[in-house]
Amino acid sequence: MAKVKNRNTKPEQIVKSVLIDLGIRYRLNYKKLPCKPDLVFPGRRKVIFVHGCFWHGHEDCKRSKLPESNYSFWKTKIEKNIRRDQHNQDALAVLGWDCLVIWQCQLKPLSDIKARLENFLNQPVMSARARLKKFFEENVGKVISTSDLSKIAGINDYQRRIRELRTEYGLKIRSHVDRADLKPGEYLLESLELDPAISRNITPQLRNRILERNGFTCQQCGASAHDTDDLDPTKKVRLHIDHIIPLSQGGTNDAENLRVLCSNCNHGKSNVQALGETALNILAKLRKSSRAVRLEVFEALKKEFAG
């Protein structure tokens, strides 16, 4: 058994040669996943396992027949391998990775393998937002941590995608800002029923019109697109089209409700009107405050209006 190879086996070599003929690049020994697939395609979020029929217990395959001598030992060992393989594939699926298993007995003819590889690897890659949406919908009512969501999304700006799922898709995703029983860094999809969705469609023509009208400068701090970012001198200022009255508070995509803001001012605004203290604006600010602050406001209002 010590002479049995677990890496670069002959079946793996055959699959690699087909991939080379197809001009498709792959990674070996990829360490950013919870297991070690034989072939990894990070850009596609896909992996391939090349399994020996005997060692991985290929069902209804003559190559997987167990030896009669020491039968119980081999049965226990192969069943353990099967459970491990299934666990690995489930873990990858949870993280939004697609898996393909190629068995040793399926390597001929090569034309079939080539067709399977092309079909598998050329399928469209699911976007980070789509992966998060699928994960939330599969875990309705369960508390999900930001570390899990970051792994699922595979990008740093995953929180922006969560906001889009709430506002543009209407998913009832709640955080500690919305529910006292959730801690910071925890999210929960309450149900599959949807809240009213908000359309954020701004045409390129309208965007250019607003940029020209505002002189390609931030209407809050005066920064332009070519200025150095005050918070990060290694970057240039980025300009965004902002809603003066947020869509979530009844604003529209009309030109009169649009203006130019830089990234820093836009991030600080966070769907709260910059000027004015309407009831909706105050409530929006309050929802984004900590639970302690909200309780303090609640006690102050009780005292103010008691009796």
Same domain, 159 and 235: no
| Mean predicted confidence (pLDDT) in 54-60 | 93
Region of 86 (left: φ > 0; alpha: ψ -120 to 50; beta: rest) is alpha
Q: What is the pLDDT of residues 208-224, one digit of tens each?
A: 898 889 888 888 878 88
Tell me, yes or no, whether 141 lies in a domain: yes
- Is the peptide bond prior to 109 cis by the omega test (within 30 degrees of 0)? yes
In the chain, % of residues over pLDDT 70: 86
For 222-281, how does the pLDDT look when each residue is reduced to its tens digit (9 = 90+)? Answer: 888 777 776 667 777 778 888 888 776 777 888 898 998 887 776 655 544 444 545 655
Q: How confident is the model at residue 287 (pLDDT cuts 50, 70, 90)?
A: low
Is residue 298 included in any domain, yes or no? Answer: no
Rounded CA separation 104/13 (Å)? 11
Query: Would you place residue 62 in the very low, low, confident or very high pLDDT band (cuts 50, 70, 90)?
Result: very high
Count of domains forming the chain: 3
Predicted confidence at residue 2, as pLDDT, reads 45
Are 27 and 34 in contact, with CB atoms under 8 Å apart?
no
153 and 175 share one domain = yes
**Which of residues 89, 121, 153 is at a domain's end?**
121
Q: What is the pLDDT of residue 278?
A: 59
φ, ψ dihedrals at 278, nearest 5°: -65, 160
What six digits make up the tokens of 47?
Answer: 């992996």
Question: What distance in Å separates the CA atoms of residue 298 and residue 287, rounded to the nearest whole number?
Answer: 12
What confidence score (pLDDT) does residue 25 get?
A: 94
Lowest mean pLDDT among 18-27, 65-74, 169-178: 169-178
Give pLDDT, residue 294: 80
List the domain range (segments joined by +) for residue 149: 128-189
pLDDT band at 21 (very low <50, low <70, confident <90, very high): very high
Tens digit of each residue's pLDDT (9 = 90 or more) over 161-195:
898 888 778 899 998 877 888 888 999 999 998 87
Which CATH number covers residue 268? 1.10.30
pLDDT tens, position by position, 41-53: 998 999 999 999 9
Q: For a pLDDT cut of 90, what percent of the chain falls above it? A: 38
Predicted pLDDT of residue 198: 55
For residues 197-201, give the mean pLDDT.
Answer: 60
145 lies in some domain: yes
Task: Kindly list the distances between the CA atom of residue 45 and the CA atoms of 118, 121, 269, 302, in Å, as whole numbers in the listed order.
Answer: 15, 9, 34, 53
Q: Are residues 49 and 112 in the same domain?
A: yes
